[in-house]
Amino acid sequence: MDKRVGLLRTAPDRMRIFARGHLDTTFLVLTLTLVAFGLVILFSASYATSYYESGRSTFYIFRQALFAAMGIVIMFIVSKFNYQFFRALAFPSLALSIVLLILVLIIGVERNGAKRWIDLGITEFEPSEIAKLAVILSFAAMISMFRDRMKTFRYGLLPFLVILAVISLLLSRQPHYSGAIIIVVLGAVMLFMGGVHWGWFVCGFGVLGAAGYFAATKMDYIMERVAVWRDPWLDALDTGWQTIQSLYALGTGGLLGLGLGNSRQKFFYLPEESNDYIFSIACEELGFVGGFVILLLFALLVIRGFWLALHAKDRFGSLIAAGISTLLALQVFLNIAVCTNLIPVTGISLPFFSYGGTALILQLTEMGIILSVSRQNREQTE
């Protein structure tokens, strides 16, 4: 009897459904701080549009706060699960994301020439957001499975390339090129962490560089975006309008900003002021100092996420924590790069700040997965 009890106590951790350790307080506090900060900025950025569209200045913030509350509850629930549980969800989530990406092309909601959203009645969501998490989980599971065979083409590259090609093709049909770029870069980072030979990355960057040059010189849609990116005043009243107004907002803010709630650009000058360009509004109201604080909080969260990945007790936990942290860093960088005209307009929202309930819930779910990994890090299990 005693021997049987001992065997049960030494059973692999993956047999447990729930995690036992303490979640990482630093990561949790940073996440909740960003959510709270995001809600304050969203209320300020959205109340003019919210009043115009619904007659209530609190319409946007009320919905977002409700989704934030739901997301935080889900984050805590997810953090209680043994992260090995998500290994079983890797391939079903990948299959689901591909089905949804096909479905959005058929029944999706179209805006500004792009079909990216599925209408659920009470809200809308982008299947590409699910695809990002599915790529992280499936790549982490496959890399953990193949282990030493990751340096071979058959196991370490081919199946991953097929997945990336299918998802990128479906995203390009929407079109959602920025989402495709994020997923390809995310996949490449995870393959690098998984031990793929560096020579394949040289070849890959060469192919992507050639493809980018072809797109920028031969595809009218991309050529137009590149031209307006280089000089927004070429079409100041149409395609360059967003960039110009964003730069006005950033410049007007100066060092300390106009004060919370005192933005001028949010009064129907800057489109997507509560979504893709909410960082510009934040800088207009809070200035360079406020923008720096936002970036600092994101940087600390990403760094902490990688720290937890380094201290995960197995390869799967390390890969999913690092993958989600990479995804967060990519989305923050691309959003702010667009707001500052560092890159052409891409349509990437700012995590925890931009309006969008389902996106916020999914982001908090991803934070819950990292917290789940933190409960079982090496320091707590040794």
Chain segment 215-236, per-residue pLDDT in tens? 777 777 778 878 888 899 988 8
Q: Assign 3 a pLDDT band (cuts: 50, 70, 90).
A: very low
What are phi and psi for residue 123, nearest 5 degrees?
A: -160, 175
Using the predicted structure, report yes or no on whether residue 8 has a pLDDT greater than 60: no
Give the least confident one: 8-12, 48-52, 97-101, 234-238: 8-12
pLDDT 10s digits, 159-181: 999 999 999 999 988 888 888 98
pLDDT 10s digits, 13-68: 555 777 677 899 999 999 999 999 999 999 999 989 999 988 899 999 999 999 99
- As a whole number, mean pLDDT of residues 73-102 equals 94
pLDDT of residue 2: 38
Q: Which helix (H) or strand (E) holds 352?
A: none
pLDDT of residue 18: 75
Q: State whether 168 and 290 are in the same domain.
A: no
Q: State whether 327 and 273 are in the same domain.
A: yes
Largest CA distance in the chain: 81
- Would you list the DSSP string of 275-323? TTTHHHHHHHHHHHHHHHHHHHHHHHHHHHHHHHHHT-SSHHHHHHHHH
Report angle CA 240, 242, 247 to the nearest 5 degrees.
95
Residue 380 lies in a domain: no
**Mean pLDDT of all residues belonging to the chain:** 89
Q: State whether 187 and 284 are in the same domain.
A: no
Q: State whether 238 and 351 are in the same domain.
A: yes
Nearest to 177 by CA among 79, 270, 185: 185
Residue 4 lies in a domain: no
Residue 176 lies in a domain: yes
Domain end, chosen from 187, 218, 249, is at: 218
pLDDT of residue 347: 81
Q: State whether 277 and 355 are in the same domain.
A: yes
Tell me which residue range forms the domain holding 70: 25-45+54-80+233-373
Using the predicted structure, report yes or no on whether residue 280 has a pLDDT greater than 90: yes
pLDDT of residue 115: 86
d(CA 245, CA 259): 18
Q: Assign 380 a pLDDT band (cuts: 50, 70, 90).
A: low
Q: Assign 213 a pLDDT band (cuts: 50, 70, 90).
A: confident
Residue 174 lies in a domain: yes
Residue 331 lies in a domain: yes
What single-letter amino acid sits at 154? R
Residue 353 lies in a domain: yes
Work out the end-to-end distance of the chain between its first and last CA atoms, rounded to an integer number of angstroms: 26
Give the least confident one: 132-146, 215-229, 252-266: 215-229
- In this structure, what token pair is assigned to residue 313? 């007790």
- As a whole number, mean pLDDT of residues 253-259 equals 94
pLDDT of residue 13: 53
pLDDT of residue 4: 40
- As a whole number, mean pLDDT of residues 239-268 equals 94
pLDDT of residue 155: 78
Q: State whether 70 and 92 are in the same domain.
A: no
Q: State whether 136 and 200 are in the same domain.
A: yes
- As a whole number, mean pLDDT of residues 136-158 equals 87
Residue 201 lies in a domain: yes
| Domains contained in the chain, number | 2
Are 156 and 150 contacting, i.e. CB atoms less than 8 angstroms apart?
yes
Q: Tell me, rounded to whole angstroms, the distance of Cα 5 from its chain centroid.
A: 44
d(CA 39, CA 357): 12
Q: State whether 93 and 123 are in the same domain.
A: yes
Q: State whether 150 and 259 are in the same domain.
A: no
pLDDT of residue 6: 37
Domain end, chosen from 167, 184, 218, is at: 218
Using the predicted structure, report yes or no on whether residue 5 has a pLDDT greater than 50: no
Using the predicted structure, report yes or no on whether residue 157 has a pLDDT greater than 70: yes
- In this structure, what token pair is assigned to residue 256? 């300390």
Q: State whether 190 and 170 are in the same domain.
A: yes
What single-letter amino acid sits at 127? P
Q: State whether 242 and 329 are in the same domain.
A: yes
Give the full edge-to-edge strand order of the sheet including 109-111: 109-111, 114-119, 124-125
Residue 379 lies in a domain: no
pLDDT of residue 378: 58
Domain end, chosen from 218, 249, 273, is at: 218
Q: State whether 253 and 315 are in the same domain.
A: yes
**pTM of whole model > 0.85?**
yes
